[in-house]
């Protein structure tokens, strides 16, 4: 074993436990060489000294504020991890966050907004009392609808007990001009019934149809149900 | 690692000697993932001081050790969810610490070198100088100072790749396998880096402490 080989093994010798680093068969020759070779022994001693000096090199103790900062960071990160651990936890966190944001947003304007609304209500109610009675209905107001249908004013003569419906054409003066039986009504279409019906219509008063408030002619459906019940449908 | 006989029963489960109060590392990892405060406290309790010291030995400016340690634990906490236990927690944390220290050294090399301080250093004195030691003579103090300075210079001049391997082995006393895990290299590479790192340190110290300056680098170290 020459010095070059020994020097390459000296690092392993530093680790005390040479198993796996120096083959067992070479460990005894290595120690014998070191005992006899001054140069290699000095080299090994220098390596020992380096290791010793390294270990003796002072290190600063960890500052207390650093430990405190690390603990705070750990707590913050643990809380953050808990927030994202499950979907429900994440959802709860988001809802809390939104609720807090809305609270923070609304809190500064809540009082001014409530005060403003209350002031507006009070002022509006005070002002509106002055406008009462300005708009009123008149008994002779003409309806301003675009078009109205004729309507029956009074029935002076009844027809019969039979239920019958008839479409009546009323002119602009409210007089009956013509009539006809609608499809499906007036099954008792006899001459006797027609005579009674014509007499009834002759003595019935109608309100004429109107267009833009002006009387005009139009059709109206009159339904005789019984002696006392009459339906009028325009 | 302590022997198995040191394990004790805890709530019906065997507590890990590495993690007092926890049945095992797997359990602790799960607790960390779920955001358990106690687990985070246990992790800090176990690693904050070793990581601080490791970082301090790996970077050039010890004043930055606190910042780097915070960066290390920030990354640990942020990434513990994706850590699947391919290695031990210790190896994983140390790997992050070594990488962060390496990044800080690179950053220091790029930015801090160009900075000029407004106030000069106070004669290069640090807090240790203010601690009295009546047992040592002025000669011992001078020699000790020279040694400290020489070791510091030698370590600072060492290639970062070798430096991390030597520090992990000689100061942190990690096994070769653990160092391989931390540095993410093969076992052979670890042996080679430690060998070359130690040899570089020895040469640097021999050059600095030549006999002409009065401090011989002899193999009989004085007791510290």
> Is B181 a member of any domain?
yes
> Is B82 a member of any domain?
no
**Residue A157: count of CB within 10 angstroms of its CB:** 12
Gap between the Cα atoms of A94 and A80, Å rounded: 12
Q: Which residues of B touch A71 (CB under 8 A)?
A: 41, 44
Which of A14, A55, A75 has its CB closest to that of B37? Answer: A75
Q: Which residues of A touch B221 (CB under 8 A)?
A: 48-49, 52-53
Instruction: Give the domain CATH number at B202.
Output: 1.10.10.10
Residues 6+ apart with CB under 8 A from A48: A14, B219, B221
Average pLDDT of B192-204?
Answer: 89
Gap between the Cα atoms of A25 and A19, Å rounded: 11
Å between B148 CA and nearest CA of chain A: 7
Instruction: Give the domain CATH number at A211.
Output: 3.30.2420
Beta bridge partners of A148: A210
User: Which of A49, A58, A72 is most worth mutating to test chain B (most B CB atoms within 10 A of its CB)?
Assistant: A49
Of all residues in chain A, the one with the smallest CA distance to B199 is A47
Gap between the Cα atoms of B45 and B51, Å rounded: 11
Domain coverage including residue B199:
138-224
Residue B9, sorted as left (phi over 0), alpha (psi -120 to 50) or beta, turns out to be: beta
Same domain membership, residue A217 and residue A162: yes
Q: Given this model, what pLDDT does residue B14 score? A: 54
Above 50 in pLDDT, residue B8? no
Q: Given this model, what pLDDT does residue B9 score? A: 38
> Is A122 a member of any domain?
no
Q: Given this model, what pLDDT does residue A115 score? A: 94
Number of structural domains (chain B) is: 1
- Scanning A19-159, the segments in alpha helix (DSSP H) are 24-36, 38-56, 64-83, 87-128
> Is B109 a member of any domain?
no
Residue in this structure with the two tokens 């960890």, named with its chain if needed: A62
> Is B177 a member of any domain?
yes
Residues 6+ apart with CB under 8 A from A191: none
Gap between the Cα atoms of B60 and A115, Å rounded: 65
Average pLDDT of B9-29?
Answer: 67
Which of B44, B152, B170 has its CB closest to that of A71? Answer: B44
B112-122 pLDDT tens trace: 656 655 554 45
Å between A118 CA and nearest CA of chain B: 49
Above 90 in pLDDT, residue B99? yes
B3-17, B38-52, B110-124: lowest mean pLDDT where? B3-17
Cβ burial of A52 (10 Å; 0-12, 13-18, 19+) is middle
Same domain membership, residue A52 and residue A91: no
> Is B218 a member of any domain?
yes
Q: At what angle do helices A64-83 and B65-79 cross, to 10 degrees?
A: 20
Same domain membership, residue A82 and residue A14: no
Given an 8 Å threshold on Cβ–Cβ distance, is B221 in contact with A53?
Answer: yes
Residues 6+ apart with CB under 8 A from B179: B165, B168, B169, B190, B194
> Is B198 a member of any domain?
yes
Above 70 in pLDDT, residue B15? no
Which of A20, A46, A85 has its CB closest to that of B206? Answer: A46
The residues of chain A scoring below 50 in pLDDT are 134
Same domain membership, residue A171 and residue A228: yes
Domain coverage including residue A174:
147-233
Average pLDDT of B186-191?
Answer: 89
Ordered DSSP codes for chain B: ---GGG--EETTEEPPSSSTTSS-HHHHHHHHHTT-HHHHHHHHHHHHHHHHHHHHHHSS-GGGHHHHHHHHHHHHHHHTTT---SS-HHHHHHHHHHHHHHHHHHHHHHTGGG---SS--STT--GGGGS--TTS-HHHHHHHHHHHHHHHHHHHHS-HHHHHHHIIIIIS---HHHHHHHHT--HHHHHHHHHHHHHHHHHHHHHHT-GGGT----S-PPP-
Given an 8 Å threshold on Cβ–Cβ distance, is A74 in contact with B217?
Answer: no
> Is B6 a member of any domain?
no
Q: Given this model, what pLDDT does residue B151 score? A: 82
Q: Which residue from A232, A184, A226, A180 is spatially nearest to A204, judged by alpha carbons? A: A232
Above 90 in pLDDT, residue B82? no
Which of A15, A48, A57 has its CB closest to that of B151? Answer: A57
Gap between the Cα atoms of A22 and A27, Å rounded: 7
Q: Which residues of A touch B (CB under 8 A)?
A: 8, 11-12, 14-15, 20-21, 41-60, 62-63, 66-67, 69-71, 73-75, 77-83, 85
For chain B, the average pLDDT equals: 77
Gap between the Cα atoms of B152 and B146, Å rounded: 10
Q: Given this model, what pLDDT does residue B2 score? A: 37
Same domain membership, residue A75 and residue A26: no
Residues 6+ apart with CB under 8 A from A224: A158, A159, A160, A162, A163, A164, A165, A166, A197, A200, A230
Gap between the Cα atoms of A60 and A29, Å rounded: 42
Number of structural domains (chain A) is: 3
**Residue B57: count of CB within 10 angstroms of its CB:** 22
> Is A142 a member of any domain?
no
Residues 6+ apart with CB under 8 A from B95: B87, B181, B182, B183, B184
Same domain membership, residue A100 and residue A27: no
Average pLDDT of B59-78?
Answer: 90
| Rg of chain A on CA atoms, in Å | 57
- In the numeric block, which tokens belong to residue B60? 């050039």
């Amino acid at each position: 074993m020459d010095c070059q080989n020994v020097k390459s093994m000296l690092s392993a010798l530093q680790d005390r436990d040479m198993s796996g680093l120096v083959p067992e068969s070479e460990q005894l020759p290595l120690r014998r060489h070191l005992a006899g070779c001054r140069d290699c022994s000095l080299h090994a001693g220098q390596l020992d000294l380096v290791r010793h000096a390294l270990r003796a090199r002072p290190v600063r103790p960890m500052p207390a504020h650093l430990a405190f900062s690390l603990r705070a960071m750990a707590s913050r990160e643990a809380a953050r991890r808990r927030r994202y651990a499950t979907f429900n936890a994440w959802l709860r966190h988001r809802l809390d966050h939104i609720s807090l944001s809305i609270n923070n947003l609304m809190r500064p304007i809540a009082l001014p907004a409530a005060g403003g609304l209350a002031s507006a209500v009070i002022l509006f109610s005070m002002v509106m009392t002055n406008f009462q009675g300005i708009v009123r209905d008149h008994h002779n107001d003409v309806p301003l609808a675009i078009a109205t249908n004729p309507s029956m004013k009074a029935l002076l003569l009844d027809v019969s007990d039979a239920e019958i419906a008839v479409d009546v054409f009323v002119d602009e003066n409210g007089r009956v001009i013509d009539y006809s039986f609608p499809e499906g009504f007036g099954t008792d279409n006899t001459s006797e019934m027609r005579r009674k019906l014509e007499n009834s219509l002759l003595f019935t008063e109608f309100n004429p149809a109107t267009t833009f408030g002006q009387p005009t002619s139009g059709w109206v459906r009159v339904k005789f149900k019984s002696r006392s019940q009459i339906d009028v449908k325009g | 690692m302590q022997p198995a006989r040191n394990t004790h029963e805890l709530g019906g489960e065997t507590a890990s000697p590495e993690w007092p109060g926890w049945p095992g590392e797997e359990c602790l990892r799960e607790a960390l993932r779920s955001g358990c405060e106690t687990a985070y406290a246990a992790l800090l309790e176990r690693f904050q001081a070793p990581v601080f010291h490791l970082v301090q030995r790996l970077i050039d400016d010890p004043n930055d050790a606190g910042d780097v340690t915070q960066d290390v634990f920030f990354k640990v906490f942020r990434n513990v969810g994706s850590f699947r236990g391919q290695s031990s927690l210790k190896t994983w944390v140390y790997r992050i610490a070594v990488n962060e220290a390496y990044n800080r050294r690179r950053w220091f090399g790029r930015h801090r070198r160009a900075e000029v301080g407004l106030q000069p250093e106070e004669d290069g004195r640090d807090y240790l100088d203010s601690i009295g030691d009546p047992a040592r003579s002025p000669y011992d103090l001078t020699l000790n100072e020279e040694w400290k300075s020489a070791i510091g210079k030698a370590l600072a001049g060492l290639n970062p790749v070798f430096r991390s391997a030597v520090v992990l082995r000689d100061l942190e006393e990690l096994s070769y396998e653990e160092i391989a895990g931390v540095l993410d290299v093969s076992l052979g590479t670890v042996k080679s880096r430690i060998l070359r790192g130690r040899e570089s340190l020895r040469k640097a110290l021999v050059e600095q402490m030549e006999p002409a300056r009065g401090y011989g680098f002899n193999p009989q170290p004085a007791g510290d």
